[in-house]
Chain A
Amino acid sequence: MSTVAMASYPLRDTWTMIWRQLKHMQRYLNLTIQLALIPILFLLLFVYVFGGTLGDGLGGGSGGRDAYVNYVVPGILMMMVTAGNTGTAVSVSMDMTEGIVARFKTMAIARVSVLTGHVVGSLIQAVLGLVLVIGVALLVGFRPNATAVEWLAAFGVLVMISFALTWLCVALGMVAKSLETASNYPQPLIFLPFLGSGFVPTDSMPSWLRVFAEHQPFTPFMETIRGLLLGTGIGSSAILSVAWSAAIALGGYLWAKKLFNRQA
């Protein structure tokens, strides 16, 4: 009699957890906007303060501020992605300290749906933030030459990268013992666009830094987006982006799952 109702509903559970995250976002709408604030401030800073000089150093074309806006936007978009992920780590960490997760664990549900809910919620948040940042970028003179398909592809790449980094940050949120550490762990990610081709071309860097800059994942990420939106050469960046994303997503997922099932 009792064993009849043992069917599992992973899709329904996942949807329920996404619903929960959407409700959270609705209550904390400010947070989404706040997360977009730092990338937008950096955009303004780099365009209006440094842009004139940095643009001249890009070489080729007209140079100056106008050229720099176009150059820096992919880096700023990556900052938005990573800033959103900091929010993910904090909200996961907050959740784990509450008794509600213990309740979920004692229910006959698809366990990983708790985490999937966080990931999907974060993706939605990231997309909103990206739209906001792109809007501001267009206002300050960002002039991409992308077709609709290229725009779509660029967004696809951004979502793919977000997805991968979010799984990593879900794990970071769980490994953190407190809210502060949860918000600190993902911080290095925010600086990776600087140590890549996000703000200046890597060939202007000293050789030791250049080696790192050219081999870290954010450089192919940004080169792919730059290529799709502005028509610069993509080369092997696209395939590298997919490979890096897959590796980070899988690693993050497995790590997060292991941490979640770990004993109290």
Chain B
Amino acid sequence: MTNTLYQPAITVTGLRKSFGDNLVLDGINLTVHQGTIFALLGPNGAGKTTMVQILSTLISSDAGDVTVAGHDLACEPDAIRAAIGVTGQFSAVDKILTGEENLRLMAALNHLDREEGRRRVAELLERFDLVEAAKKPVQTYSGGMQRRLDLAMTLVGKPRVIFLDEPTTGLDPRSRRGMWQIIRELVAGGVTVFLTTQYLDEADELAGRIALLDHGRIVAEGTPDELKRLIPGGHISLRFADAGALNTAARVLGTTSRDDEALTLQVPGDSGVTALRELLARLDEWSIEVAELSVHTPDLDDVFLTLTGRTDDTQKETVR
């Protein structure tokens, strides 16, 4: 019983899936640890939804081994279904029923007893700010409200692993932030979240680990910081008051790229605090006056664009 705590929530080995001639997933390997948020990031058509459909037992794979919540996907799909919750890209709510009826439906299908079901429904309506709309048909709900209800329905059964397929696609910025907050709270409660998104800021904001999916392959995986370090482009930019200072600095700092007209130097490499402090110390040592200093950290956009082969030129410019 205790060792289940240390088991990964999801393991995927050599997963393949094709639809006809179209190879959608081409040998995926990944591990998601319990109580973390894992983001599968990729452009449209990368295979994200297929991945979620397979992991959530909706469709079968062609090859590969998958375990979710400690159960083998091929042997015990029902045990997995009992442990997971899925909120898809397209709202999985019954639009004819009211919000409250939708939640009661989930309570019944999770086989909660009457008392517990009622308590759970009331609690979720409260938590997702749906008390006022509870008795209205879902058809009348806004997009954000439908999405909240959708997630609330997923939570009725207290799943240990939650799949969120593009949970904020189509939401306005405010609803989006609200959704992020809810996701963070879930994980704080010990739940594992497997998230797909095409938004880099969303992955950056939420996920402990990110895998980049492109054309059915994982092209990079790691923490947001690790991924950012994968590509060059981190640098410190220094501007000087005159050519003299620029010359001295260029000599002291060695291999740097300089721009004589703008009187700037670009020092590549790690833009962490330690590196910055060392750099400033050296400039101080040589009494070089710096007019302006800026730090450029590559964001996930850079990583994404570089690794998915859709590099844009302006990016290369600053890197060089």
Contact = CB atoms under 8 A, between A and B. Distances in A.
Interface of A: 1-3, 5-6, 8-9, 12-13, 16, 19-20, 23-24, 27-28, 98-100, 102-109, 263-264
A103 B163 CA distance: 11
A16 B70 contact: no
A247 B108 CA distance: 33
A106 B81 contact: yes
Given A104-B109, A106-B57, A99 B92 contact: yes
Contacts of A5: 82
A109 B83 CA distance: 12
A106 B94 contact: no
A107 B157 contact: yes
Nearest to B83: A2
B86 interface: yes
Contact of B109 (A2, A27, A99, A107): A107
Contact of B97 (A23, A99, A102, A107): A23
Contacts of A23: 96-97, 101
A6 B111 contact: no
Interface string B76-93: 001101111010101111
B30 interface: no
Interface string B135-178: 00100000000000000011001001000000000000000000
Given A16-B109, A104-B109, A263-B59, A99 B88 contact: yes
Contacts of A106: 56-58, 81, 84, 86
B109 A3 contact: no
A23 B70 CA distance: 37
A145 B175 CA distance: 66
Contacts of A105: 57-58
Given A27-B137, A107-B157, A99 B93 contact: yes
- Tell which of A13, A99, A100, A106 has the most Cβ of chain B within 10 Å: A106
Given A99-B91, A99-B92, A264-B58, A6 B1 contact: no
B79 A264 contact: no
B277 interface: no
11 contacts: A1-B1, A2-B83, A12-B111, A16-B105, A16-B109, A100-B93, A102-B92, A103-B88, A103-B92, A106-B56, A107-B110
A1 B154 CA distance: 21
Nearest to B88: A99
Interface of B: 1, 4, 53, 56-60, 69-71, 78-79, 81-84, 86, 88, 90-97, 101, 105, 108-111, 137, 153-154, 157, 160
B111 A20 contact: no
Contacts of A8: 78
Nearest to B89: A99
A264 B53 contact: yes
Contacts of B83: 2
Q: Main SS of the interface on chain B?
A: loop
- Tell which of B69, B70, B109, B157 has the most Cβ of chain A within 10 Å: B109
A217 B82 CA distance: 44
B81 A2 contact: no
Contacts of A19: 105, 108
A106 B150 CA distance: 14
- Tell which of A13, A103, A264 has the most Cβ of chain B within 10 Å: A103
A17 to B, nearest CB: 9
A2 B91 contact: no
A100 B94 contact: yes
Contact of B79 (A2, A99, A100): A2
Contact of B105 (A3, A6, A20, A108): A20
A108 B82 contact: yes
B82 A102 contact: no
Contacts of B160: 2
Nearest to B56: A106
Nearest to B82: A108
A99 B90 contact: yes
B14 to A, nearest CB: 20
Contacts of A2: 4, 69-71, 79, 82-83, 160
Given A99-B91, A100-B93, A106-B56, 16 more contacts: A2-B70, A2-B83, A16-B105, A23-B96, A24-B96, A27-B96, A99-B88, A99-B92, A100-B94, A102-B88, A102-B92, A106-B58, A107-B157, A108-B82, A264-B53, A264-B59
A211 to B, nearest CB: 44
Contacts of B137: 27
Given A2-B70, A100-B92, A109 B84 contact: no
B97 A20 contact: yes
B81 A20 contact: no
A27 B88 CA distance: 26
A16 B157 contact: no
Given A23-B96, A23-B97, A107-B157, A102 B58 contact: yes
B47 to A, nearest CB: 14
B109 A13 contact: yes
A263 B54 CA distance: 11
B109 A109 contact: yes
A179 B90 CA distance: 18
Contacts of B111: 9, 12
B137 to A, nearest CB: 7
A102 B84 CA distance: 13
Contact of B82 (A1, A6, A12): A6
